[in-house]
Amino acid sequence: MKGSEWTERANAKINLGLKILGKRSDGYHDILSVVQGIDLADTLHFKFAQHSSMTCTSPDIPCNRDNLVMRALALFSQRAPVSCQPLAVHLEKHTPMGAGLGGGSADAAATLRALNALHDRPFDAEGLRVLAAELGSDIPFLVEGGTAVMRGRGEVLQPLDWLGDVYYVLVYPDVAVSTAWAYDHVDLTLTDQNPYTTFVNSLSGGCVNCWELMEVLENDFLPVVESAYPIVATLRSHLEQTGARATSMSGSGSTVYGLFDDRNAALKAEKKLRARGHRSFFCQPLVSDTYN
């Protein structure tokens, strides 16, 4: 067993396009999305204790057994082939909630990685992915990160190598969008074959050129979220005015992002948006090795 304390980063993700292919008999939706880990992250601190507990820097986050971090703790303890000691967890929250960035899921993924490390890695990578899939659809990806095509309800992953340099400016409009609400309101008649699905389904060589992908970006949630929250469209316009080569929204929202090919231009854009009072972030992609 490792030392008595451990710190783990919980890196967020963005969806570089998202298509909803239909609703399944189990109530979930089949999706198609290129998803990527970014360097915006929460930080979790773990310490062996007499009782499992959780604290958080954000008063808006419930630290009870329903929290994904606590659920990950419980699931790991139930399934691990070793005896697991209770842990006190402290979460430093930086990723906005209800933002389409997978913040809570990333915290759960980080918890699984930390527990595995603290207990001398009783699970291999596939074992962790199986645990993660029980907790949430996007958690298997967030366990390993990098860039991948996401299919099924999110648990079917095709890892990709990322070709090209890109810098992201993310803007959170202080609107929390419920994923359930977004699915209830999205127009599933608009999800037929299109340039995005054609392009993503053609990615059989294990790599993707970022600027070819940007030419076909599409998110089925964007029209309904922009209709309900016009600030989303306004922020995308601001990003375009600051020089973004492409803009979109991550997941079911509400975070919008712009893609820049120049680091200094992206930094200036983020600074300008922050000066206007927006909660903005300069981010870069992460490779999967960053998570190990």
Q: Which residues are catalytic?
A: 13, 138
DSSP element (H, E) containing 111: helix 103-118
Residue 176 CA to residue 242 CA, distance in Å, equals: 25
- Spatial neighbors of 15 by CB under 8 A, at least 6 apart, are 33, 34, 35, 100, 150, 219, 250, 251
Give residues with Cβ within 8 angstroms of 126, minimum separation 6: none
- Which value, to the nearest 10 degrees, does the dihedral of the CA atoms of residues 148, 286, 206, 132 take? -40
3-state secondary structure of 204: coil
Amino acid occupying residue 111? T
Q: Residue 84 contacts by C-beta under 8 Å, 6 or more apart in sequence?
A: 76, 77, 115, 119
